[in-house]
């Protein structure tokens, strides 16, 4: 459902993303873990069409983002790390607007908007300007916007940022539910499995694969953060 093919981004001599290839099957949740500045957000911005790759491409739902950007975007929902919204639109207007951009008719966009606002606990703020919402509420609203057109691929960049513990827990449940419904989810996070370092994919595999690769042979179950640091310090460079 998601395929990155030799994706590369350079800024002069600086290589932000270096020959990154990976594939995510339908209904999978793919965690994209890396240090600050490792190239996670650059990769995601190339995937969703916000940044032109220097080389390579991303294929979302069978559509190449470079050759058929509209088709690829139509099946994708995206939540950026710092989702800026239109301050002068109300929460309801904002969701209806995004629905319209993704081809939903006026009535359908309105229905979906109301439904998602209730689902994300924003129903009573539907008529408020987004500039008056708290950061957590804005994060929820942006997430609702990413889902308004029922995407088959969901790309989330640091989705936990700005959420309270309850919101973070709800997001985990939502991610599981969506994956259960067949939505493919690609999320980058500091708090959570492919690991990217200095623009190169260091390792990719299941959580158990990563733990095994990190050399946890004593039967204990190390935290993902520990696994992450162990792999980076070991300078891993292959696929699990």
Contact footprint for another protein (CB under 8 A): 45, 48-52, 69-74, 76, 78, 80, 82-90, 92-93, 96-103, 106, 109-110, 123-129, 131-133, 145
* CA–CA separation, 58 and 48 (whole Å): 8
For residue 12, the minimal CB distance to another protein (Å) is 15
Identify each DSSP E strand in 54-100 by its residue range: 55-60, 63-64, 76-79
Of 73 and 211, the one with the shorter C-beta distance to another protein is 73
Of 69 and 222, the one with the shorter C-beta distance to another protein is 69
Q: What is the token pair recorded at 132?
A: 């008056």
For residue 27, the minimal CB distance to another protein (Å) is 22
Dihedral sign from CA coordinates of 17, 21, 26, 28: negative
For residue 17, the minimal CB distance to another protein (Å) is 15
For residue 126, the minimal CB distance to another protein (Å) is 5
Q: How many other C-beta atoms can be found within 10 angstroms of the C-beta atom of residue 171?
A: 20
Query: Exposed/middle/buried for 211, CB within 10 Å: 0-12, 13-18, 19+?
Result: buried
* CA–CA separation, 11 and 13 (whole Å): 6
Is 9:199 a contact under the CB 8 Å cutoff? yes
Chain centre to alpha carbon of residue 68: 20
Of 106 and 238, the one with the shorter C-beta distance to another protein is 106
For residue 76, the minimal CB distance to another protein (Å) is 7
Query: Exposed/middle/buried for 47, CB within 10 Å: 0-12, 13-18, 19+?
Result: buried
For residue 116, the minimal CB distance to another protein (Å) is 14
Of 124 and 176, the one with the shorter C-beta distance to another protein is 124
The owner of tokens 């994300």 is 120
């Amino acid at each position: 459902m998601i395929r990155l093919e030799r994706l590369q981004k350079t800024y002069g001599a600086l290589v932000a993303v270096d020959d990154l290839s990976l594939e995510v099957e339908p209904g999978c949740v793919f965690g994209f873990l890396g240090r600050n500045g490792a190239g996670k957000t650059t990769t995601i911005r190339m995937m969703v069409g916000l940044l032109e790759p220097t080389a390579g491409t991303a294929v979302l739902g069978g559509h190449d983002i470079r050759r058929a950007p509209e088709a690829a975007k139509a099946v994708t929902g995206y939540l950026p790390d710092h989702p800026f919204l239109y301050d002068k639109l109300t929460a309801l207007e904002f969701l209806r607007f995004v629905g319209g951009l993704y081809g939903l008719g006026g009535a359908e966009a309105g229905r979906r908007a109301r439904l998602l606002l209730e689902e994300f606990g924003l129903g009573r703020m539907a008529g408020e300007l987004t500039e008056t919402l708290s950061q957590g509420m804005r994060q929820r609203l942006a997430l609702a916007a990413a889902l308004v057109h029922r995407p088959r691929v969901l790309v989330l960049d640091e989705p936990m940022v700005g959420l309270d513990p309850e919101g973070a827990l709800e997001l985990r449940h939502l991610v599981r539910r969506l994956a259960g419904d067949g939505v493919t989810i690609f999320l980058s996070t500091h708090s959570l499995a492919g690991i990217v370092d200095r623009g190169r994919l260091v390792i990719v595999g299941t959580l158990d694969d990563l733990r095994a690769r990190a050399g946890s042979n004593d039967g204990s179950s190390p935290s993902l953060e520990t696994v992450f640091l162990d792999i980076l310090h070991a300078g891993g460079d292959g696929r699990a």
